Structure formats: C-alpha cells, structure tokens
Chains A and B, each alone.
Chain A
Amino acid sequence: KAGVTQTPRYLIKTRGQQVTLSCSPISGHRSVSWYQQTPGQGLQFLFEYFSETQRNKGNFPGRFSGRQFSNSRSEMNVSTLELGDSALYLCASSLGQGGANYGYTFGSGTRLTVV
C-alpha cells in the first residue's frame, strides 16, 4: 500500500514569504501529525489532527498553522517565513487516535530552505 506522501520534497522560499506543505496519509488513517526537524532542535512536534480537528499543538508561534480535510489529507502553512524556519518538515499518520496502538508512519518529509 502507498505510504505517507508529502509534497513537495524540496522547496526554496524567501524570507517574508509564506509556504504551504501537503501531506496525504495512508489510506484509512485518520490521524495526521506534523513535526519539524532541525540540526539544533531535533524533532519538534507541531500539531496533530484527527477528524478535521486539531487535537494537540506544539510550542510554535502562530505563523505555523495547519488543517485537515474530510479525506484526511492535511496541509500546514507557515507565514512570514524566517531563516530559522529552514528545516525538514515531517508528516506522520496513524490508524488509531493519536497513534495509540499502531505507531505512526512518517513520510519522507519536505525540506524547506528559507533564503
């Protein structure tokens, strides 16, 4: 079966711009989470969605937002990009609520570079 698909794989943006990243979970998975990975901070939780509702949110500024659609696909948006937003953005999906008994399946990520 198809895994978690993230698009685009690579992205270069300029400071001040905004960006939208997309995530298609595994078919049947209803939980989608987003993580940011940087060399300095490691893997940091952004937010989790289940049934189109944000269920948990990490400690990121309001410039980071997301949403989930009725087909479970999810997008995250970062507005007013800063150089420090350069990172690998990972999406993960799970069959159960919050990845309880099945673990999360991660995509390969979108590498965002802000110049």
Chain B
Amino acid sequence: DAKTTQPPSMDCAEGRAANLPCNHSTISGNEYVYWYRQIHSQGPQYIIHGLKNNETNEMASLIITEDRKSSTLILPHATLRDTAVYYCIVRSPSGFQKLVFGTGTRLLVSP
C-alpha cells in the first residue's frame, strides 16, 4: 500500500504556481520523498526527491515540513504541458526498494 495521501485532483491556471500537497505521516527517518509525474500515454517521469531539506531543480521545488510528515511540490509557472498525474512516493534509497505508486493527483492546467 502507498504510504502517502494526495488529493485526487487539482486545477491551476497557466502561468500560475501549482502547489501539490502530499501527506506521509508514517515516513521513516531514512526514507526520502520522491515525486514523479505521468503525462497521458507516457511512462512516469522523475521530477525531484528530497530527505528533509528543501530541494529545487529545473523542473520544480520540493518543500518538506520540519517534522517530515508532509511535503509540497511546487511548479513555479505551470504550463499546459504540466497537465499530468503527479505521484508522491516515500521510499528508502538503499537496497532495491520498489516504487509504490498511489493514485496520485491529477493536475489540470487551463489557459
């Protein structure tokens, strides 16, 4: 079972920031938070991951609360191409832990 909870859907206007929340209250000390997204008919795409510090890359920013029980993925300037299902995954980076995909958040970016 997925160890994360996400809203099933969200809307965002093009050009605005999209803030996608994720709850992971049972996260363990060595587990990271990973975000992937899946655009229709394509394979999932890795976005970003983090342990406890905020992370930023060319795609997005990841904000993790101090208690690590929740996080937010931020797409600073959403475009129509960001319309996708976004998955938040909690996982240990060691060994060969599988990715457990929940139902994700379906983000719809509108003009």
Instruction: Kindly state whether residue A64 has any CB partner on chain B within 8 Å.
Output: no
Instruction: Kindly state whether residue A8 has any CB partner on chain B within 8 Å.
Output: no
Instruction: Kindly state whether residue A109 has any CB partner on chain B within 8 Å.
Output: yes
How many residue pairs between the two chains, A and B, have CB atoms under 8 Å in the bound complex?
59
Given A42-B103, A103-B34, are A98 and B97 neighbors across the interface (CB < 8 Å)?
Answer: yes
- Which residues of the partner chain A approach B100 to less than 8 Å between Cβ atoms? 45
Q: How far is the CB of B61 from chain A (nearest CB, A)?
A: 16
How many of chain B's residues have a CB under 8 angstroms from any CB in A?
A: 21
Q: How far is the CB of A87 from chain B (nearest CB, A)?
A: 13
Q: Encode contact with B along A28-48: 1 for CB under 8 Å, 0 otherwise.
A: 000101010000001101001
Instruction: Kindly state whether residue A107 has any CB partner on chain B within 8 Å.
Output: yes
- Which residues of the partner chain A approach B87 to less than 8 Å between Cβ atoms? 43
Query: Considering the chains assembled together, what is the distance between the CA atoms of A92 and B96 in angstroms?
Result: 13
Chain B residue with minimal CB distance to A31?
B96
Across the interface, do A55 and B96 meet the contact criterion of CB distance under 8 Å? yes
Across the interface, do A108 and B103 meet the contact criterion of CB distance under 8 Å? no
- Which residues of the partner chain B approach A42 to less than 8 Å between Cβ atoms? 101-103
Interface positions of B (Cβ within 8 A of A): 34, 36, 41-46, 49, 87, 93-103
Interface positions of A (Cβ within 8 A of B): 4, 31, 33, 35, 42-43, 45, 48, 50, 55-56, 58, 90, 92, 97-101, 103-109
